[in-house]
Amino acid sequence: MRKKIVYLLLTLIVIGLVYGISYAWKSFPLISAYGAKIMCSCVFVAERSEDSVHNQELRSFPISLGEFEVDREGKKVIGSVFNLAKRVAIYREGQGCTLLSGESENLVRNQAFYSVLKPTWTQDTVRWPSGNILNDSIISLENYRKIQEMINYELESEEKKPQLTHMILVVHQGELVAEGYGNDHEINTKHTSWSMGKSIISSLVGLQVDKGVMNLDQKNLLPEWSDERKNISLTHMLQATNGLDWVEDYSGVSDATRMLFLNPDAAQIAASKPLKYEPGSYFYYSSGTTNIVSKILRNQLGEEKYQRLPYEDFFYKIGMHNTVMEKDASGTFVGSSFVFGTGRDYARFGLLMLNKGNWEGEQILSEEWVKFATTPSTAAPKGQYGAQWWLNAGNKENPEDKLFSKLPNDAFYAGGFEGQWILVIPSQELVIVRLGYTPKGEFSINDFAADVINVLNN
């Protein structure tokens, strides 16, 4: 009997060791890379303290197992777990942070970089929306004061503080009428977009479609797609109906996490996937798809135009002077996830879409493009997705079967991991931006926006 017990215990120990080694082998590199990237961007791009990042973005298990060394002189962060599986993220001026993912630091730092023509005027001397001077007489109105109190409650109350809301902004009828900041964030703090970046990539494509440089029906999108994937169109890519065999999962090592944190070429790992469904027949939300689109843009425009496109042709035209698109180690913008901008910049993006692509009299995006971007794909069962924008359109047969039960059906939004929102509601002339670190999803944009609408309409 004693021998059986000893044998059982030894067996359990061996199983435990095998499991532990397997977990470490798979997870430690991901933990190191994730933490190094987050710490790098938050310290060097957002200019926050290391303690702030440790206490918020990197506080949860298993990321808390990691150690993340900030080298301010070398402008990089080295991540590891128990001094194993070291991964490095580097900062480059004007380009944000990039995970090396096995590439040479010297090689990545010396990639061709085309500086952009920055605006020569300061936003602090110009009125909103292009500038930062707000209409004080508007802000003081009673209903806007009530909305400001709602924002303050989200940021300051003991009940809401654990949700780690970083900022909330409300734009109504074109005016920024209420805003609030907390948890080590302020007006000029840049914040991660996560998947809100997908909607930015969509707009960059829209600029090219409007110019006739790209076509929504174009196929043969990548040289390596010489098989049945050659029938995937740009519309299929934008509407996430390309049919590629992809797993969008962030709970561990998956297609999505390998792409973002373990591979030097985000588009390559996504583009290598075979077809699973006929293009256009099945909706599947995919960060891989967005990064392929980013690579298609790069291939079509060439290096210099591609690098300057987001800034000179888009951001700077609508007052997004404080937004940075970060790249992977191959030099492609990781449009699915890695954009850093201020709350006001994201609000400007939402306002552009609210105004059907028009910015203070200049048509930046055509009305036709905005309509396309916010029209449901026929493959999305609840009418919940357009061209890299989430929609609240609802099921054609039952419009009440929609994503947000309390919000109008014309609402649409750019949404990101951990509670990032640019919500646009045209029927209410409303844009709401909410940014934070809320892993469990306790913050309800459905409830908050419904309460804002109620205040405005009463």
Separation of alpha carbons 57 and 39, rounded Å = 8
Q: Look at residues 326, 331, 257 and name the one whose alpha carbon lies nearest to residue 87.
A: 257
Q: What is the pLDDT of residue 369?
A: 98
φ and ψ at 288, to 5 degrees? -60, -40
User: Is CATH 1.10.230.10 the right assignment for the domain spanning 166-456?
Assistant: no
Spell out the residues 6+ positions from residue 282 whose beta carbon is closer than 8 angstroms to its own.
241, 243, 276, 379
Q: 145 with 168: CB under 8 angstroms?
A: no
Beta strands at 358-359 and 362-363: parallel, antiparallel or unpaired? antiparallel
The amino acid present at 224, given as its one-letter code, is E
**Percent helix, percent strand, percent coil in the chain, to nearest 5:** 40, 15, 40
Secondary structure of residue 107 in the 3-state scheme: helix
What are the phi and psi torsion angles at 77 (to 5°)?
-130, 135
Distance, in Å, from the CA atom of 214 to the CA atom of 294, rounded to the nearest integer, reads 13
Q: Using CB atoms within 10 A of its CB, is residue 27 exposed (0-12), middle (13-18) or buried (19+)? A: middle
160 in Cβ contact with 185 (< 8 Å)? no
Pick from 170, 197, 162, 51: nearest CA to 438: 162
Taking the C-alpha atoms of residue 165 and residue 180, their distance in angstroms, rounded to an integer, is: 10
Return the bridge partners of 433, or none: 169, 422
pLDDT in tens, 128-143: 999 999 999 998 899 9
Domain ranges of the chain: 2-109, 166-456
Structure-token pair, residue 307: 């690098």
Neighbours of 382 (CB within 10 A): 18
**Adjacent-strand bridge partners of 251:** none
pLDDT number for residue 139: 87
Q: Within a 13 Å sphere around the CA of 412, how many CA atoms are in the beta-carbon half?
A: 26
The single-letter code of the amino acid at 188 is N
Q: Would residue 322 be called left, alpha or beta, if left means φ above 0 and alpha means ψ between -120 and 50 degrees?
A: alpha
Q: Which residue blocks in 222-286 are alpha helix, DSSP H?
A: 234-238, 255-257, 266-271
Q: pTM for the complete prediction? A: 0.95
Closest CA to 250 of 260, 242, 241, 240: 260
User: Of 43, 27, 364, which Cα lies nearest the Cα of 206?
Assistant: 364
Is residue 388 within 8 A of residue 399, CB to CB? The reply is no
Buried b (16+ CB within 10 A) or exposed e, 89-114: bbbbeebbbbbbbebeeeebbebebe
Distance in angstroms (rounded) separating the CA atoms of residues 311 and 325: 9
pLDDT in tens, the chain (458 residues): 666 665 555 555 544 443 444 445 479 999 999 999 999 999 999 999 999 999 999 999 999 999 999 999 999 999 999 999 999 999 999 999 999 999 999 999 999 999 898 999 999 999 999 999 999 999 889 999 999 999 999 999 999 999 999 999 999 999 999 999 999 999 999 999 999 999 999 999 999 999 999 999 999 999 999 999 999 999 999 999 999 999 999 988 999 999 999 999 999 999 999 999 999 999 999 999 999 999 999 999 999 999 999 999 999 999 999 999 999 999 999 999 999 999 999 999 999 999 999 999 999 999 999 999 999 999 999 999 999 999 999 999 999 999 999 999 999 999 999 999 999 999 999 999 999 999 877 899 999 999 999 999 99
Residue among 207, 196, 140, 192 nearest 432 (CA): 196
Separation of first and last alpha carbons in the chain: 77
Residues making up the chain, counted from first to last = 458
Is there a contact between 435 and 196 (Cβ–Cβ < 8 Å)? no
What values do phi and psi take at 69, rounded to 5? -90, 120
Structure tokens at 324: 């940075």
